[in-house]
Structure 1
Amino acid sequence: MNNSPTHTQDNKVHSFHIPVMGIGFTIDSATRVAPYGIDTVASMLDDELMERLRKKLCSIHNQPYEEIDRNDDDCRARRTTAYLNLLKFIVEKRFDELINSPESVEKYFSLLPPDSELDRRYKEFRQTNPTQELTRQWLKDNLSLGSIDVNIMTKLDKINYLNGERLPSEHNDAHSALRGFANSDLESSIVLSAGMNPSLYGYIQNFSDFFPDEKGYIRKKVTIKVSDYRSAIIQGKFLAKKGIWVSEYRMESGLNCGGHAFATDGFLMGPILEKFKQNREELYQTVFSILQEALAEKKLPVPESLPMRITAQGGVGTADEHNFLLEYYQLDSVGWGSPFLLVPEVTNVDEFTLQKLIEAKEKELYLSNISPLGVQFNNLRGNSKEIEQEERIKSGKPGSPCYKKNLALNVDRSGNNICSGSNTYQAAKIKELDSKNLSPEEYSAEYRKIVEKACICVGLGTSALLVNGLDTSVEGDGVSVCPGPNLAYFSKEMSLREMSDHIYGRTDVISRTDRPHMFINELRMYLDELRQKFESCVSSENPLQGKSIQSFSQNMMEGIEYYAGLVKNMKGRFNILKSQFEIELENAKQSILAILKELEKMRMVLVVI
């Protein structure tokens, strides 16, 4: 791979990373995979969960534990710092144990990609018949740890109060989590997702670890998760003006992903990655020149260059797709998320949820409206939190007690934070609904919109409690889970070794033969999204929606043309998939044209394609 500043591996030994999943599914995954050189991301949303896990982990690893109470000063930040420092300790401890265990060393190398330079050098070293002490020293000097990265959803930045008085913005939820990471001993990355939060972004410059030294080393790096190139350059420039360098732009499919789905305006993954590929140097030079000026103005070291990574995730499922993304789009890493929910060795998934995930097919994995954020949310039908929620609805007591208030972003009439998934909020909304004198059909539809909101800030963390044998009497045993649609094609429990072998093409764990290419799968999802937009437009007869559909359709059509050209020009790699691509692309094109024709009949927009 090119070793210019815009292409760097930063001593990475793997070409995949494990993204954040939910709140608790990957919250301690670093302790299991970082010793083997694999990067993973932990959610920093739930400080109560972190504190309870810290107590358990301290007991397991014989570390002193001093509780940080929820009423203590700056508890959210302090809990975050303490938890992350403990993760670092455990990872380093397990790495020391690894290099002293021939079996663990063998596992480390067995997980590496087939063309691993590290593996080649180790084999050469072994041919010198080194002593055990020399071998341990070589391993210590040459093996790399995976990065213990953390995630903050930037919009989950709830304002907090003390004795009825609003606290300064640095005590907002996301600000406090950021401060907790900044004050920790970690040398890793913070992954900022869900869009730009100017206040939070500006707050980063208060911490020296985010600035580069004279040699360009940054102790705490910034990664931003983006849906397109435009978002990347806007956010990169904004942060650069503060003297903060974006070390990684992580592109995620808008729909073919897990968790919340932030659909683009019809822009497809392939064309988006092509734009990153074509404009990589422009992105680097534009943002870096702004950064240099900002650092000079702050009288801070101005390095000659800085590394920049571009990575992607969302729907990848085969070694061929993995390698194609790396090679053709020149990516530095590819994220594999949902399939790792079937790897108990890596993620916190309780037995009931694991079995449901193994059995899940396309119909069980769907985009829902359960999130209190008002954003589409990937969901699994029949999960235990959904069962719990439906039982509450049937008993006439919809909603959940709001213990944690992590998503309490609404404000009630008294000025208190409240979540739309809470029983208090839903009871108030149902009371309002009762006074509207609606028809039974209208009432039923509006009632469902109220009660479908779920307490996911608890449900997405409960599995970590269950797996670790911690008390759930307050939260309940209901588990929310947010797998991407790609999970439908993975149908068995796997080990880390099996998953690694699948990613690198040493084996194939997918038994189904009907899995479409990841680009086709995403195209189908965007086509469904377009149909929903059209149905909404028909029912509302809103001309503005018609114009939105026209723009969405045009962007999809351009994506279809891009894929047609890609298949034509990449005959060797796409030869097996050529007929599938051609049929799917033509069907999608005709479906879009049919929708636009219907719009034209309605005389809502004039469409010319």
Structure 2
Amino acid sequence: MLQHQFHIPVMGTGHSIDSPIRVAHLGISSVMSVVDDLLCEKIRKYYAGTFNLPYQNIPRSAADGRAERITAYLDTVADIVSSKFEELKNAPLFEDSEKDRYFSLLPDGNPLKTIYHQISSLNDADERKKWIDELTARMTPGSIDVNIMAKVDALRTDKDDQPMSSEFSDASAALRGYANSKLSSSGLVLSAGFNPRLYGYLSEFNDFYRDASGQIKKQIILKVSDFRSALIQGKFLAKKGLEVAEFRIESGLNCGGHAFASDGHLMPVLPAGVPGEAGTACGNLSARWYKVFMKRSRWDYPELSAEEIKPKITVQGGIGTNGEMRRLLEDFEMDGTGWGSPFLLVPEATCVDEFTSKVLASAGERELYLSNVSPLGVPFNNVRGSGSEIHKKELIAKGKPGSKCPKGFLVSNTEFTESPICTASSQYQLLKINSIQESDFSDDDKEKQKNKVMEKTCLCTNLGTGSLIRLGIMKPSYGRQAICPGPNIAWFNREYSLEEMVDHIYGRSESLVPDERPHMFAKELVMYVDYVSELSLLTDPEDSGWKKLLKMKKNLEQGMDHCMEIANGTAYPGENLASLRETVTVQREKLNEISHANMLTPNCIFITVSTDRI
């Protein structure tokens, strides 16, 4: 059983890579990325030395090295968390120990925290011991969850440069590494799109199915930005007899890292009908689970109630105050929330180097922007002044743009080569710049296109650099640190203790953000209208993208109506509904101006927009 109303989502390849080691024993759940298995290996070596655990290097030349490195790292994390949690459970109570800290961090009203306070008033030694033992037995660590970006799935070649079979693709090898690990009561967070081949591969591992007792060792969690997509993926998995334990709804734009924009579905609209829809969907899917399960299992399918089958629904992306969280938990009946970017300024919870931490603390709204630095071609939330940006500019000034591409996780382009290469690599950028230079474009257009090419950054390496510097594995002088905060970080301006951030989340202390901070729904709305504005300038009415643009406009208009209903209601403490009212008014007018300027008005809709069908 999870004890908190929030979890710490995945943040880059390195910033939450050791978060479970830092906070899981205190009951806080977090998500690690295993995209970079080579980074996992370096971190494993560090922590093996720190905790006196055996370590044997798994070389890059190992036949199934990627999967083995991931398994070895996750096993190390599991061992460390287990050891720390057992040590915490054996600690004394009411002596300002880590065990006391565990209970003090819990939300008020948590049953364990209530018992903890009741025990403190007991005088009888035997009764006190009995209750302490019972309370200790009910303690649980935070979940150690693992993220795999489903579409980051490059196919690999062997030592003879021959294509390897699909189970050795990047995503499949990462999945195998997780599935073979000793983690239990853990979740696999699948994000960044639907990969049928990868989802089909899940069915080959028993840990994703219920055992004879009805438990699932490794749960499937889908990170989505619209519920239609969630159901499509859920149906595909159901045909394999696989259950979805949780849908993590994330704002398409108001989030950290890659921003996978939805069709204009705003956060207030997405969760509104989800609890009921999820229940209905699970009722329909349970028969499929049962049928497939009975074919593959050697035991009877455990009898489970509808509530036990129903997946949890959580929300993340831009949450910044207790009032916003309460609205999601109470009005929208969400089962939990994800708080990401604010934890980048909590050294006890995440792995961020000192230089980058200062950049984040001083960053205002102007320094945080939706960039084009990702080789995936997906908008990427970024901050100005990072080590990665400084290094990129230095290379460009030297006439040597791009990266050597030492890891190749994001290779995809075949414009100049038979084998895919990365658009952030020096190989691609030099070839592309030469092609532009030889084109018939004007000098101004050539410069614009070359600058666009050189925007791309090596995320494979640079997103992990900060964690290596923080742990002392790499010298700070190496630089190149990339980080991917959401816009919400603009309102957090210093480093915080774990207690400060958790108390802020639960509204138990003075707010860490100023009253004028815009509501999370307001910020998301501004980002989406800006996104539509940019798309409208780049899209021709004859292009297929025009239909998407019309759909986004319609969904935004519906979302703004819902936002205004919320804005005119009663605010939770610390919730800036005034900013939401003002933003809806301003952005509605801006969307209308965009519509008239770019012929997105109803009179010009010449494409039939059909209703989504599942």
Which of residues 135, 138, 142 in structure 2 aligns to 1:146?
Answer: 142
The Cα shift of 1:577 comes to 4.6
Other-structure match for 2:157? 161
Other-structure match for 1:523? 525
Residues 75, 575 of structure 1: alpha-carbon distance in 2 compared, 3 angstrom cutoff: closer
Once the two structures are superposed, the pairs formed by residues 243-322 of structure 1 within 5 Å of their partners are: 243-299=241-297, 301-305=300-304, 306-322=309-325
Counterpart amino acid of residue 167 in structure 2 = E
The DSSP-based 3-state class of the residue aligned with 1:269 is coil
Residues 545, 160 of structure 1: alpha-carbon distance in 2 compared, 3 angstrom cutoff: closer
Whether contact under 8 Å (1:600, 1:607) holds in the other structure is no
Other-structure match for 1:43? 33
The DSSP-based 3-state class of the residue aligned with 2:370 is strand
Residues 434, 111 of structure 1: alpha-carbon distance in 2 compared, 3 angstrom cutoff: same
Describe the superposition over 1:126-160 as per-residue Cα deviations: whole angstroms up to 9, x where unpaired: 42644697677445412110011100000011100
Whether contact under 8 Å (2:68, 2:177) holds in the other structure is yes
The Cα shift of 1:546 comes to 4.4
Question: Partners of 2:576 and 2:473 in 1: how far apart?
Answer: 48
The DSSP-based 3-state class of the residue aligned with 1:344 is coil
Question: Partners of 1:378 and 1:104 in 2: how far apart?
Answer: 36
The Cα shift of 1:327 comes to 1.0
Question: Partners of 2:441 and 2:345 in 1: how far apart?
Answer: 46
* Deviating more after overlay: 38-47 vs 209-218: 209-218
The Cα shift of 1:604 comes to 5.4
Other-structure match for 2:612? none
Other-structure match for 2:556? 556
The DSSP-based 3-state class of the residue aligned with 2:494 is coil
**Is 1:534 the equivalent of 2:536?**
yes
Other-structure match for 1:4? none
The Cα shift of 1:432 comes to 1.5
Other-structure match for 1:477? 479
Whether contact under 8 Å (1:543, 1:605) holds in the other structure is no
Of all paired residues, the percent bearing the same amino acid is 41
Describe the superposition over 1:29-77 as per-residue Cα deviations: whole angstroms up to 9, x where unpaired: 1011100111000001111111111111111111111111111120111
**Is 1:12 the equivalent of 2:2?**
yes
Question: Partners of 2:41 and 2:597 in 1: how far apart?
Answer: 56
Question: Partners of 1:377 and 1:62 in 2: how far apart?
Answer: 38
Residues 136, 74 of structure 1: alpha-carbon distance in 2 compared, 3 angstrom cutoff: farther
Other-structure match for 1:375? 378
Other-structure match for 2:508? 506
Question: Partners of 1:440 and 1:170 in 2: how far apart?
Answer: 47
The Cα shift of 1:607 comes to 11
Question: Partners of 2:64 and 2:318 in 1: how far apart?
Answer: 39
Counterpart amino acid of residue 53 in structure 2 = Q
Question: Partners of 1:601 and 1:275 in 2: how far apart?
Answer: 28
Question: Partners of 2:511 and 2:352 in 1: how far apart?
Answer: 19
Residues 582, 140 of structure 1: alpha-carbon distance in 2 compared, 3 angstrom cutoff: closer
Describe the superposition over 1:407-462 as per-residue Cα deviations: whole angstroms up to 9, x where unpaired: 12234755334211111111111121222132111100110121111001111001
Whether contact under 8 Å (2:279, 2:310) holds in the other structure is no
Question: Partners of 1:269 and 1:85 in 2: how far apart?
Answer: 36
Counterpart amino acid of residue 161 in structure 2 = G
Which of residues 110, 115, 121 in structure 1 aligns to 2:115?
Answer: 121
The DSSP-based 3-state class of the residue aligned with 2:10 is coil
Which of residues 8, 25, 28 in structure 1 aligns to 2:15?
Answer: 25
Which of residues 341, 359, 379 in structure 1 aligns to 2:362?
Answer: 359
Once the two structures are superposed, the pairs formed by residues 329-348 of structure 1 within 5 Å of their partners are: 329-348=332-351
Which of residues 318, 323, 326 in structure 2 aligns to 1:323?
Answer: 326
* Deviating more after overlay: 210-219 vs 254-263: 210-219
Residues 444, 242 of structure 1: alpha-carbon distance in 2 compared, 3 angstrom cutoff: same
Once the two structures are superposed, the pairs formed by residues 207-226 of structure 1 within 5 Å of their partners are: 207-226=205-224
The Cα shift of 1:535 comes to 2.2
Question: Partners of 1:348 and 1:33 in 2: how far apart?
Answer: 12
* Deviating more after overlay: 576-585 vs 117-126: 576-585
Once the two structures are superposed, the pairs formed by residues 51-66 of structure 1 within 5 Å of their partners are: 51-66=41-56
Describe the superposition over 1:560-605 as per-residue Cα deviations: whole angstroms up to 9, x where unpaired: 112223344x436499755443332222222222222223499854
Question: Partners of 1:227 and 1:556 in 2: how far apart?
Answer: 14
The Cα shift of 1:464 comes to 1.1
Counterpart amino acid of residue 407 in structure 1 = L
Contiguous gaps of at least 5 residues in structure 1: 1-10
Counterpart amino acid of residue 536 in structure 1 = L
Whether contact under 8 Å (1:248, 1:310) holds in the other structure is yes
Whether contact under 8 Å (1:160, 1:173) holds in the other structure is yes
Question: Partners of 2:591 and 2:573 in 1: how far apart?
Answer: 24
The DSSP-based 3-state class of the residue aligned with 1:192 is strand
**Is 1:415 the equivalent of 2:418?**
yes
Residues 472, 438 of structure 1: alpha-carbon distance in 2 compared, 3 angstrom cutoff: farther
The DSSP-based 3-state class of the residue aligned with 1:592 is helix
The Cα shift of 1:542 comes to 4.3
The Cα shift of 1:164 comes to 2.0
Contiguous gaps of at least 5 residues in structure 2: 610-614
Residues 552, 495 of structure 1: alpha-carbon distance in 2 compared, 3 angstrom cutoff: same
The DSSP-based 3-state class of the residue aligned with 2:12 is coil
Query: Given the two structures, how large is their TM-score scaled by the length of structure 2?
Result: 0.92
Counterpart amino acid of residue 170 in structure 1 = E
* Deviating more after overlay: 498-507 vs 559-568: 559-568
The DSSP-based 3-state class of the residue aligned with 2:151 is coil
Question: Partners of 2:341 and 2:68 in 1: how far apart?
Answer: 30
Once the two structures are superposed, the pairs formed by residues 170-249 of structure 1 within 5 Å of their partners are: 170-187=167-184, 188-249=186-247
Whether contact under 8 Å (2:323, 2:574) holds in the other structure is no
* Deviating more after overlay: 302-311 vs 518-527: 302-311
The Cα shift of 1:507 comes to 1.5
Say how many residue pairs are matched: 595
Counterpart amino acid of residue 516 in structure 1 = P
Question: Partners of 1:575 and 1:117 in 2: how far apart?
Answer: 26
Query: Given the two structures, how large is their TM-score scaled by the length of structure 1?
Result: 0.93
Question: Partners of 1:546 and 1:412 in 2: how far apart?
Answer: 26
Counterpart amino acid of residue 47 in structure 1 = D
The DSSP-based 3-state class of the residue aligned with 2:112 is helix
Question: Partners of 2:123 and 2:529 in 1: how far apart?
Answer: 59
The DSSP-based 3-state class of the residue aligned with 1:17 is strand
CA RMSD after TM alignment: 2.3
Question: Partners of 1:543 and 1:49 in 2: how far apart?
Answer: 42
Whether contact under 8 Å (1:460, 1:481) holds in the other structure is yes
Residues 515, 120 of structure 1: alpha-carbon distance in 2 compared, 3 angstrom cutoff: same
The DSSP-based 3-state class of the residue aligned with 2:533 is helix
Residues 440, 541 of structure 1: alpha-carbon distance in 2 compared, 3 angstrom cutoff: farther
Other-structure match for 1:350? 353
Question: Partners of 1:25 and 1:285 in 2: how far apart?
Answer: 38
Question: Partners of 1:523 and 1:277 in 2: how far apart?
Answer: 23
Question: Partners of 2:310 and 2:34 in 1: how far apart?
Answer: 26
Counterpart amino acid of residue 113 in structure 1 = P
